[in-house]
Amino acid sequence: MNPDLELLNPYPFERLADLLEGHPPPADRRLLKLSIGEPQHAPPEIVVKALTDNLDLLAKYPTTRGTQALRESQAQWLCNRHSLRTVDPDSQVLPVNGTREALFAIAQTCVGHQQNALVGSPNPFYQIYEGAALLAGGQSILLNTDESTGFLPDPEALSVREWDAMRLLYLCSPSNPTGAVMDSPLLQRFIQKAIEHDVVLVSDECYSEIYPDENAAPTGLLAACADMGHDSYKNCISMHSLSKRSNLPGMRSGFAAGDADIIAQFLRYRGYHGSAMPPHHQVASTVAWSDEEHVLENRDRYREKFSAVRHILDPVLELNNPAGAFYLWPRVPIDDATFAQRLHAEAGVLVLPGSYLSHDNGGVNPGKGRVRMALVAELEDCIEAAERIAGFVRCL
């Protein structure tokens, strides 16, 4: 067996299952889950129709590069959404089977067991970043993001030696779990460092289409490149997904875009990896990326949930103010794991301890004392969960 598998830490939900063992929820209440970031809104009907109308394509092998129509729809969406002058669908865009597998695979493309190679990520972080680093033979290095930094990473937190040793750096904006959004000047600081030290920047932007203010859409890595006249997107890759934007987590559809040289090598890797998107998914994805009406409706539903839940929880918990994504990241009055365990057992609500999403780094665990609440359920369930949480906190 690959000995590097022993380096992997347990997935947060494995740890959560262990934490809750022997602590069942109340028998007289149905369990309300705010732990997993799996959208529960219905998929768009136009996408479902495109899937069912094209099931005959199951008889054909897909191409790893994807269809011309799909790449063009993704390139056009990027240009429209981020006011980009140009994105070449033939050389700067590559369809992927959701961002999760692509975030993992890009490290295998860029790192490749180079001695003492570092792979950076924010802390707290999406577990895939660390696993990708370790299984590519790299070492994970973390940039703490806590309240003192506005929950944002700082490029100056890394030394020159660390930047020189780094091969790849993951960014996440809007952030999982904090919802913090990196603005263009901060992204440009990372871009400048990446070019100076020849580091590949990978920006996980799967939550970019969920935000509270229609007049303040989160910017992205490629938009920051364009703002500084960096139209080749050198050293920069952004990744996007239909899972959150279009409530299609089961379709496993997204794309990577940016530096044409990196995209070419990523395509080469993926040709061997065997990760082509199914043909009927490609047709349906083309429809999804070409429609914004369902995305606007989706944002409205999240706004309604955030407003209702905040009204209930503000008096009892210290809430953050996320600029994007569908998470709340409140500070809790007791140890975060104990809070999650007792909330499950006493109130029948499932949340994820913040310390399970981060590591001790520099004597600090930035997730400690917080929990992640995913407002993905229907409005009524989110309201009921918030009411149960508020009642639980008042009894502590």
pLDDT digits (tens, 9 = 90+) for 9-68: 999 999 999 999 999 999 999 999 999 999 999 999 999 999 999 999 999 999 999 999
What is the percent of the chain with per-residue pLDDT over 90, rounded to a whole number?
97
371-374 and 352-353 strand pairing: antiparallel
Tens digits of per-residue pLDDT, 258-294?
999 999 999 999 999 888 999 999 999 999 999 999 9
pLDDT for res 161: 97
pLDDT for res 115: 78
pLDDT for res 179: 98
371-374 and 327-328 strand pairing: antiparallel
Q: Give the type of residue at 228.
A: M
Does the structure show a pLDDT above 90 at 89?
Answer: yes
Secondary structure class of 89 (helix, strand, coil) = coil
Does the structure show a pLDDT above 90 at 113?
Answer: no
Q: What is the mean pLDDT of residues 180-201?
A: 98
Burial of 303 (0-12, 13-18, 19+ CB in 10 A): middle
pLDDT for res 112: 77
Instruction: Please report which residue ranges of 237-374 form alpha helices under DSSP H.
Output: 242-245, 260-273, 279-289, 293-313, 336-347
Does the structure show a pLDDT above 90 at 336?
Answer: yes
Secondary structure class of 364 (helix, strand, coil) = strand
pLDDT for res 274: 87
pLDDT band at 4; cut points 50, 70, 90: confident
pLDDT for res 227: 96
- The domains located in the chain, with CATH, are 3-42+294-394 (3.90.1150.10), 60-291 (3.40.640.10)
pTM of the model: 0.96
CA distance 305 to 40: 13
Q: What is the mean pLDDT of residues 368-386?
A: 98
pLDDT for res 307: 97
Between vectors from CA 48 to CA 47 and to CA 50, what angle results, nearest 5°? Answer: 65
Q: Which of 53-62, 94-103, 110-119, 315-324 has the lowest average pLDDT?
A: 110-119
pLDDT for res 284: 98
Q: What is the mean pLDDT of residues 220-231?
A: 96
Q: What is the mean pLDDT of residues 232-257?
A: 97
Q: Please say whether the dihedral angle defined by the alpha carbons of residues 298, 304, 310 and 313, taken in this order, is positive or negative.
A: negative
Contact indicator for 92, 326 with CB cutoff of 8 Å:
no
Between vectors from CA 365 to CA 359 and to CA 370, what angle results, nearest 5°? Answer: 110
Q: Give the type of residue at 69.
A: A
pLDDT for res 114: 77
